[in-house]
Amino acid sequence: MWQSLPELGTGIVYAILVAAAYTFAVALAAGRGRPRLLQAARLGAYTTSALVLFAVLLLSYAFVSHDFRIRYVAHYSDRRMSTAYLLTSLWGGQDGSLLWWSLLLSGYISACVAWLKGRYRELQPYVIATLMVILGFFAMLMLFAANPFETSIAGARPDGEGLNPLLQNYWMIIHPPCLYMGFVGCSVPFAFCVSALVTRRLDNEWVIAVRKWMLFAFLFLSIGNVLGMMWAYEELGWGGYWAWDPVENAACLPWFTAAAYVHSTMIQERRPMLRVWNVFLICLTFFLTIFGTFLTRAGIITSVHSFAQSSIGSYFVYFMGVILGTSLGLMVWRLPELKSKGQIEAAASREAMFVANNWALLGGMTFILVSTMYPKISELWGESATVGPPHFNRWMGPIGLIIFALMGLAPLFGWRKTSGASIKKAFRAPLIALAATVVLHLALGGYLGYPFFVARDAFYPGVVGVILQKVGSCLPGITIALCGFNVAVIVQEFVRGVGARRAAAGKRGEQESTLVALFRLVEKNRRRYGGYIVHLGIVSMFIGFTGTAWNIDRETAMVPGQSYRIGEYDLKYEGSRRCPGNPKCSPAEQADIEKMMIFADIEVTRSGKKLGHVHPAKFIYQAQPDGPTTEVAMMRSLHEDLYTVVGQIDPQTKRATFQFHVNPLVSWIWLGLLILITGTVTSLFPELSLGEVGAWSYVRGAAGVATGTAFAVWIAMAPGMAYTHERPAPAARGPAVTSIRSLRQLPTAGLGAAGFVGLALGSVVSFGRRRRVDAKSPCD
């Protein structure tokens, strides 16, 4: 095996394709009148998944044993890398990331097949068949275009090239897997949708089956996207977190359609409406995940993710054609059965609001899609246009606000129709909150450094330009006002719910304290109140996004001893040092053999009070000496982030160029993600306990472990981020740069604790669920 590992690996990829084909055939046979074959198909699906796992383990073995005969291993690792980063390389490059994608898909397939045991019998064969087609596509892709086990023509090298330094950081370890979890997760709803179309079982059955899977995918799409923002913010060093890069855009497209689906499905679950729409949204979401991968991989539009490009684009084009053809064909074929049997009864109803919200989300998605593709589209008529961030920022501001406003409005209406009196009652408090926010903001905003109006340049000539300029200049004020409105809506929902519970308890002659009532309210309606918590997370994110309106960006050059003032900060450049070598460097920095680090030490004072030091740096990796990386140093707070980047440092005079940014409110975005995770997990869990048996406890356990670990790793990393605040002097030990630490320096105790917390959460959740299944009736 040691001699023929690459051949064995390639053979296993062949075997994956064969096993997928076998399972597909057996599943189809089971669907067409031979139900006894279903068990064979289910086992076939497990076999295929286990084969993918075996292939991934083989590749891992090649990485940890430095088998540089394999091109992929030689290209993305070297002998100096730590084991953790060696395993990260599994998804660091193209070929491996396809295998990694297949592994995640296999995980989903196994979980789905296990969950399906004994339920949705009619849908099951086609669900398995569809998933096998998707897995088969990735196997084919690996075999014909991007085989991770391919050997280099030149034979084994003494050492590899090493992983791209941009990817050697903490966020990059967890960002791609999270995003992939979201992307891949959209395959399961798609499989159910295809299956429902094929079997004509178009009632609520499949919608209810899909809901949990979609919510799970939505959760990971959100986490993946925000982690991507963090990576860009901390690693790319241009001062922001979202540059409307084609790949970033591609990653957020399915989020929009998934968010739309999560809402529109609620209507179909209650009434026989929007059936075509939901089928369309599911197919579109899946299509967009493949499209996003295509955009990242094929590199048809220039992007920061260019490290992942290759020539596999044409395969994706064919596959997208197959998806489009299949889903459209099936939809047209089943159109008569998909027809709505109900209609929206009044404009003042939650259904109407949801539909409006769906259109706004889809509109936002279409805008991003078209703008991203515009450089390519414009080539059709011989023009080669570029679309930059200003274009997106100008338009997405207003579009985002429409979605944001609708998000606040929808909960104020009841299902079907809402009477004038109850609308009046529902709107009173939120409108008062809106007015109060506007007044407060106008009065205090300027004083606090967050003025209501900001000056904007006209982006276009003509009327549209003037309108966009006017809207743009009061956008921060409107956003903050809507934040007030939205928070009031959510608080009101909770207050009214608690009130109703306490009143009901009072009627029964019991006493329920506010806290108990709140807890029980959420527990009994987790889906609804989980949704509201997610909304709260979105509000927090919007506060963070608005912060960009008040950014301060400066560039300067300084010699040691010089000071520079930005906002309320005084930054004193004390000098630069080169590690390893300089006596001021910490032992960890001295011992680093992977790279040379040049730090600039800056003392930070705010309004006369010393806050500590920041150390922006340039790292030069031995594996890639030509491309020094920029290492950002930050001081974070809920109020604002001080973001420093060093450009060039003259080795003789120590004169250095700097970029300084003061980014207000950015931390609110990360906070928003935490709230969003809490909300989604809240609304995900109870639905799982709706009288389900068996495998769900495992899925719940896995979900618990995944989220728990994500949380815990996060918490474990928090001291690393706060480090700069406490450090008194640069000479003290340890690297002071906030985020950039190699994995060896990660607190191992923290990671261990993370694992335990995740495990504990998972087991508590799954055992808790078992008890509930016994105790609860299915319709509770």
Partner 1 sequence: MNNRLPRMHVVRWAAPLITLFAAIIAGTLFGVQLVVLTLAAAALLLVIWLLWSSVQALAGETELTFEEAFSLGTRSAEEEQKRAVLRALKDLEYERSVGKISEDDYHEYSARYRAEAKRLIQTLDENLAEGRKQVEHELQRRLSKKAVKTKPTDAPEARSNGGSAPDAEREANAPITRDCPFCQAKNELDARFCKACGKSLAEAEESSS
> Is residue 18 a contact point for partner 1 (CB under 8 A)?
no
Residue from 65, 310, 314, 513 binding partner 1 (CB under 8 A): 65
Residue from 201, 554, 725, 772 binding partner 1 (CB under 8 A): 201
**Residue whose CB is less far from partner 1, 334 or 577:** 334
**Residue whose CB is less far from partner 1, 526 or 577:** 526
Q: Given the rule CB under 8 A, which of 408-416, 538-546, 629-637, 704-712 is the region that contacts partner 1? A: 408-416
Q: Is the distance from CB of 433 to CB of 481 less than 8 angstroms?
A: no
Question: H or E element: which one contains 578?
Answer: strand 569-579
Residue from 80, 157, 376, 416 binding partner 1 (CB under 8 A): 416
Closest to 72 (Cα-Cα) out of 103, 94, 55, 56: 94
Q: Is the distance from CB of 600 to CB of 616 less than 8 angstroms?
A: yes
> Is residue 36 a contact point for partner 1 (CB under 8 A)?
yes
Q: Given the rule CB under 8 A, which of 35-43, 143-151, 444-452, 735-743 is the region that contacts partner 1? A: 35-43
Closest to 149 (Cα-Cα) out of 16, 18, 9, 54: 9
Contact flags string 79-108 toward partner 1, x per CB under 8 A: ----x-------------------------
> Is residue 205 a contact point for partner 1 (CB under 8 A)?
yes
Instruction: Report DSSP letters for 355-396, one per residue.
Output: HHHHHHHHHHHHHHHHHHHHHHHHGGGT------HHHHHHHH
Residue from 388, 499, 627, 719 binding partner 1 (CB under 8 A): 499
SS3 string of 445-495?
HHHHCCCCCCCCCCCCCHHHHHHHHHHHHHHHHHHHHHHHHHHHHHHHHHH
Q: Given the rule CB under 8 A, which of 68-76, 157-165, 269-277, 466-474 is the region that contacts partner 1? A: 269-277
Residue from 14, 21, 54, 240 binding partner 1 (CB under 8 A): 54
Q: Which two tokens stand for residue 349?
A: 């109803």
Give me the least distance between CB of 500 and partner 1, in Å please: 4
What CA–CA distances, in Å, run from 144 to 67, 138, 315?
22, 10, 9
Q: How many residues does the chain have?
A: 780
- According to CB under 8 A, which residues from 428 to 447 bind partner 1? none
**Residue whose CB is less far from partner 1, 58 or 365:** 58
Q: Number of helices and strands (H, E) in the chain?
A: 23, 10
> Is residue 768 a contact point for partner 1 (CB under 8 A)?
no
Contacts of 735 (CB under 8 A, 6+ apart): 586, 588, 589, 597, 615, 741, 745
Beta bridge partners of 610: 605
Q: How many residues bind partner 1 (CB under 8 A)?
A: 60
> Is residue 11 a contact point for partner 1 (CB under 8 A)?
no
Residue from 238, 415, 459, 564 binding partner 1 (CB under 8 A): 415
Residue from 400, 414, 647, 747 binding partner 1 (CB under 8 A): 414
- According to CB under 8 A, which residues from 106 to 135 bind partner 1? 117-121
> Is residue 157 a contact point for partner 1 (CB under 8 A)?
no
> Is residue 496 a contact point for partner 1 (CB under 8 A)?
yes
Q: Given the rule CB under 8 A, which of 163-171, 478-486, 499-507, 558-566 is the region that contacts partner 1? A: 499-507
The alpha carbon dihedral of 189, 190, 194, 195 has a sign of: negative
Contacts of 360 (CB under 8 A, 6+ apart): 399, 402, 403, 406
Q: Which two tokens stand for residue 413?
A: 């209406």
Residue from 44, 730, 735, 750 binding partner 1 (CB under 8 A): 44
**Residue whose CB is less far from partner 1, 529 or 619:** 529
> Is residue 314 a contact point for partner 1 (CB under 8 A)?
no
Residue type, 419: S
Question: H or E element: which one contains 26?
Answer: helix 5-31
> Is residue 50 a contact point for partner 1 (CB under 8 A)?
yes
Burial of 778 (0-12, 13-18, 19+ CB in 10 A): exposed
**Residue whose CB is less far from partner 1, 29 or 373:** 29
> Is residue 14 a contact point for partner 1 (CB under 8 A)?
no
Q: Given the rule CB under 8 A, which of 89-97, 220-228, 407-415, 706-714 is the region that contacts partner 1? A: 407-415
> Is residue 425 a contact point for partner 1 (CB under 8 A)?
yes
Question: What is the Cα gyration radius of the chain?
Answer: 27
> For residue 757, which phi and psi values (nearest 5 degrees)?
-60, -45
Residue with tokens 């501001």: 397
> Is residue 156 a contact point for partner 1 (CB under 8 A)?
no
What CA–CA distances, in Å, run from 217 to 210, 277, 477, 634, 680?
11, 19, 33, 32, 11
> Is residue 57 a contact point for partner 1 (CB under 8 A)?
yes
**Residue whose CB is less far from partner 1, 87 or 662:** 87
**Residue whose CB is less far from partner 1, 57 or 335:** 57
Residue from 152, 378, 525, 678 binding partner 1 (CB under 8 A): 525
Summarize as ranges the residues that interact with partner 1 (CB under 8 A): 19, 26, 35-41, 43-44, 46-47, 50-51, 53-54, 57-58, 60-61, 64-65, 83, 117-121, 201, 203-205, 208, 269-271, 413-419, 421-422, 425-426, 496-497, 499-501, 503-504, 525, 528, 690, 778-779
